[in-house]
């Protein structure tokens, strides 16, 4: 391998020259079909679109929003943006106009990829066969920042998180891909939406590592398992909500999952029962967990075997220093819950915000994204919850994720979120919002409260349970508990 630093576009073009007919991108559609693109087609289409972007004046450091459904075209657009020297900015196509416009106002883009008119010059991610066959000479441009991720944050105000670049690496030596155990022959399946950092960043680094990517237009547990059986991916990345639904799918025990070498889960706390189910089915060495923030403040990892020895942990730091601090920002001993401050190898976090103030940092560039947790005596990190979601009821601290993990065990529960509602006596009372599977709608609140009473201290048991048809959980598997809480406070 050469030591020359190659851009994302150069790397993909190299692999296209080596194996032009290999299918590099696939997406399972809702209608049952699968769209696919070869390495040569990706090269030609991304070159054609990159030329359009350059003609619009796009250059290094300029943010280019991608407001498309998860699709092959999403990654074609991403590749074209990199080749033009711009910075891809994945966004959900399901945002309201006001949410979308607030983020676009921060970015001030010269072009957008969107199926609707957003008030900015629009570029299509679809290229005709004639156009894609034309040769477009694109000079090498180095993108910096690497990516811009949209976030409402805890305040709900539009915010962009920029990851500093440049996005270059020697051929076959992409450090992120190596850390994630990617190999050149891999097929990675990301059932989640590409506007979320996990599927997007994993997909980029799989392509940078010489591998291939499988997507789906929308996650469905049964079809996910069927796709694993038929298309034989070697790497899978999930969020815990997907894991829970796969475990309850009728083909969980019958689908052939033997192709999977690595299964990553991240983005939210994973209930112990779901983790155990995956370990039992796939083996502890296959199931890996990653904890990290989009702001690149640090990361932890562990496999299933480590987790069995340190149940509930999200792992040890990977090139990461970890401090647990109290409200006075004094270090806490092992076993005590505090706010998590981290840093990568003694360096400041690699990010920039647009639309928000920087993270709190303390001496030595340790930064916090607001997560609470503790370290055990072996240095393994455990998450409690987000500081903004913590419920203080009658003077006691209650972590919603802990209560949710218990309720989610019930086989009738499809989704659950726990919030703290105002209470004149307790300050906040624990309230659970639950969605049941359609064929299990006869389950009552008393049954779920009894389950909580078996596994939780009395003060943690919800004072009330509300049943809804669906929870507003986004495709990335996250719920903004603050929005749920505020809506119920307003109705009261």
pLDDT in tens, 98-146: 889 999 999 999 999 999 999 999 998 877 665 556 666 788 999 999 9
Instruction: Read off the pLDDT of each residue in 85-106 and give the average, rounded to a whole number.
Output: 90
In a domain, 221, yes or no: yes
Q: Which of these three, 268, 298, 329, is where a domain ends?
A: 268
Quickly state the pLDDT bin for 154 (edges 50, 70, 90).
very low
Give residue 135's pLDDT. Answer: 65
Give residue 427's pLDDT. Answer: 79
Strands (E), 68-109: 87-90
High-pLDDT (> 90) share of the chain, %: 68
Q: Is the pLDDT of residue 476 over 60?
A: no
Is 324 in the same domain as 338?
yes
Give residue 126's pLDDT. Answer: 77
In a domain, 376, yes or no: yes
Average pLDDT of the chain is 90
- Of 200, 204, 243, the C-alpha closest to 224 is 243
Structural domain for 460, as ranges: 390-491
Q: Lowest-pLDDT range, 128-142, 183-197, 288-302, 360-374? A: 128-142
Give residue 492's pLDDT. Answer: 56
Strands (E), 31-110: 34-38, 63-67, 87-90
Is 230 in the same domain as 363?
no
Contacts of residue 228, defined as CB under 8 A and 6 or more positions apart, other chains included, come to 189, 236, 255, 256, 257, 259, 260
In a domain, 208, yes or no: yes
Q: Which of these three, 388, 422, 441, is where a domain ends?
A: 388
| CA 458 – CA 436 distance, rounded (Å) | 24
Q: Among all chains, which residue has been given the structure tokens 């040890």?
A: 316
Give residue 155's pLDDT. Answer: 47
| CA 191 – CA 179 distance, rounded (Å) | 21
Q: If DSSP codes are grouped into helix, strand and coil, which group holds residue 247?
A: helix
Q: Is the pLDDT of residue 1 over 90?
A: no
| CA 480 – CA 478 distance, rounded (Å) | 7
Instruction: Read off the pLDDT of each residue in 162-185 and give the average, rounded to a whole number.
Output: 92
Instruction: Read off the pLDDT of each residue in 386-404 and give the average, rounded to a whole number.
Output: 79
Round to the nearest angstrom and report the end-to-end CA distance of the chain. 64
| CA 417 – CA 31 distance, rounded (Å) | 31
Q: Is the pLDDT of residue 153 over 60?
A: no
Is 355 in the same domain as 400?
no
Q: Is the pLDDT of residue 12 over 90?
A: yes
pTM value? Answer: 0.83
Is 70 in the same domain as 130?
yes
In a domain, 240, yes or no: yes
Pairing of strands 381-386, 313-317: antiparallel
Q: Is the pLDDT of residue 219 over 60?
A: yes
Of 23 and 480, the structure prediction assigns the larger pLDDT to 23
Instruction: Read off the pLDDT of each residue in 271-278 and give the average, rounded to a whole number.
Output: 94
In a domain, 276, yes or no: no
Q: Can you give the CATH number for the domain in which 411 is found?
A: 3.30.300.30
Instruction: Read off the pLDDT of each residue in 53-65 and give the average, rounded to a whole number.
Output: 94
Q: Is the pLDDT of residue 347 over 70?
A: yes
Tell me the CB-side half-sphere exposure of residue 401, using CA atoms within 13 A: 24
Is 296 in the same domain as 358?
yes
Query: Per-residue pLDDT tens for 415-433?
Result: 999 999 988 778 789 999 9
Is 208 in the same domain as 243?
yes
Q: Which of these three, 335, 367, 388, is where a domain ends?
A: 388
Is 334 in the same domain as 467?
no
Q: Is the pLDDT of residue 458 over 70?
A: yes
Q: Give the angle subtended at the CA of 107 by the CAs of 101 and 109, to the nearest 5°.
A: 95
Do you find a cis peptide bond into 47, omega within 30 degrees of 0?
Answer: no
Q: Let me know: does 316 contact 301? Beta carbons within 8 Å.
A: yes
In a domain, 324, yes or no: yes
Query: Per-residue pLDDT tens for 235-253?
Result: 999 988 899 899 999 999 9
Is 138 in the same domain as 103?
yes
Of 166 and 21, the structure prediction assigns the larger pLDDT to 21
Give residue 421's pLDDT. Answer: 92
- Of 285, 272, 284, 226, the C-alpha closest to 252 is 226
Instruction: Read off the pLDDT of each residue in 46-55 and give the average, rounded to a whole number.
Output: 94
Q: Give the angle subtended at the CA of 424 by the CAs of 423 and 429, to the nearest 5°.
A: 20
Contacts of residue 125, defined as CB under 8 A and 6 or more positions apart, other chains included, come to 49, 66, 68, 71, 73, 74, 76, 77, 80, 113
Contacts of residue 224, defined as CB under 8 A and 6 or more positions apart, other chains included, come to 189, 191, 216, 242, 246, 249
Is 47 in the same domain as 114?
yes
Is 416 in the same domain as 460?
yes
In a domain, 159, yes or no: yes
Do you find a cis peptide bond into 320, omega within 30 degrees of 0?
Answer: no
Instruction: Read off the pLDDT of each residue in 450-459 and give the average, rounded to a whole number.
Output: 89
In a domain, 277, yes or no: no
Is 327 in the same domain as 408?
no
| CA 398 – CA 392 distance, rounded (Å) | 6
For 347, the token pair is 């360096």
| CA 62 – CA 85 distance, rounded (Å) | 8
Q: Is the pLDDT of residue 5 over 90?
A: yes
Q: Let me know: does 42 contact 69? Beta carbons within 8 Å.
A: no
Is 436 in the same domain as 341?
no
Q: Can you give the CATH number for the domain in which 365 is found?
A: 2.30.38.10
Give residue 129's pLDDT. Answer: 61
Quickly state the pLDDT bin for 384 (edges 50, 70, 90).
confident
For 236, the token pair is 């899978």
| CA 162 – CA 10 distance, rounded (Å) | 22
Domain count, the chain: 3
């Amino acid at each position: 391998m050469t030591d020359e630093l190659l851009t994302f576009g150069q790397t993909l073009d190299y692999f296209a020259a080596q194996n032009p007919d290999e299918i590099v991108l696939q997406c399972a559609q809702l209608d049952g079909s699968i769209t696919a693109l070869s390495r040569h087609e990706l090269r030609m289409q991304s070159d054609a679109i990159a030329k359009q972007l350059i003609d619009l004046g796009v250059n290094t450091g300029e943010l280019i929003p991608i407001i498309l459904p998860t699709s092959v075209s999403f990654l074609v657009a991403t590749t074209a943006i990199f080749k033009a020297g711009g910075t891809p900015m994945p966004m959900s196509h399901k945002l309201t106009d006001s949410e979308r416009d607030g983020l676009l106002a921060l970015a001030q883009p010269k072009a957008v990829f969107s199926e609707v008119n957003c008030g900015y010059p629009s570029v299509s991610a679809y290229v005709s066969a004639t156009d894609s066959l034309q040769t477009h000479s694109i000079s090498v441009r180095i993108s910096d920042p690497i990516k811009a991720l949209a976030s409402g944050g805890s305040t709900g105000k539009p915010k962009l998180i920029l990851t500093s670049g440049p996005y270059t690496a020697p051929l076959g030596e992409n450090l992120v891909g190596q850390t994630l155990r990617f190999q050149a022959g891999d097929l990675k399946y990301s059932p989640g939406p590409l506007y979320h950092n996990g599927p997007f960043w994993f997909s980029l680094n799989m392509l940078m590592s010489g591998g291939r990517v499988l997507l789906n237009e929308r996650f469905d547990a049964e079809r996910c398992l069927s796709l694993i059986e038929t298309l034989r991916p070697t790497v899978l990345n999930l969020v815990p909500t997907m894991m829970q639904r796969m475990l309850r799918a009728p083909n969980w025990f019958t689908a052939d999952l033997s192709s999977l070498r690595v299964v990553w889960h991240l983005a939210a706390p994973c209930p112990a029962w779901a983790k155990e189910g995956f370990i039992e089915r796939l083996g502890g060495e296959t199931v890996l967990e990653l904890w990290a923030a989009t702001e690149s403040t640090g990361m932890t990892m562990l496999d299933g075997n480590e987790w069995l020895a340190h149940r509930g942990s999200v792992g040890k730091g990977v090139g990461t220093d970890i401090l647990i601090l109290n409200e006075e920002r004094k270090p806490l001993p092992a076993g005590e819950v505090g706010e998590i401050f981290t840093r990568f190898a003694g360096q400041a976090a690699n990010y920039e915000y647009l639309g928000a103030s920087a993270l709190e940092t303390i001496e030595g560039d340790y930064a916090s994204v607001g997560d609470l947790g503790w370290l055990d005596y072996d240095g393994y990190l455990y998450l409690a919850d987000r500081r903004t979601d913590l419920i203080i009821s009658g003077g006691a601290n209650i972590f919603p994720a802990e209560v949710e993990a218990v309720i989610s065990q019930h086989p009738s529960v499809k989704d659950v979120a726990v919030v703290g509602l105002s209470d004149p006596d307790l300050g906040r009372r624990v309230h659970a919002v639950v969605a049941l599977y359609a064929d299990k709608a006869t389950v009552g609140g008393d049954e779920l409260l009894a389950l909580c009473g078996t596994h939780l201290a009395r003060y943690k048991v919800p004072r009330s349970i509300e049943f809804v048809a669906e929870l507003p959980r986004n495709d990335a598997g996250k719920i903004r508990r603050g929005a749920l809480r505020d809506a119920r406070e307003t109705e009261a």
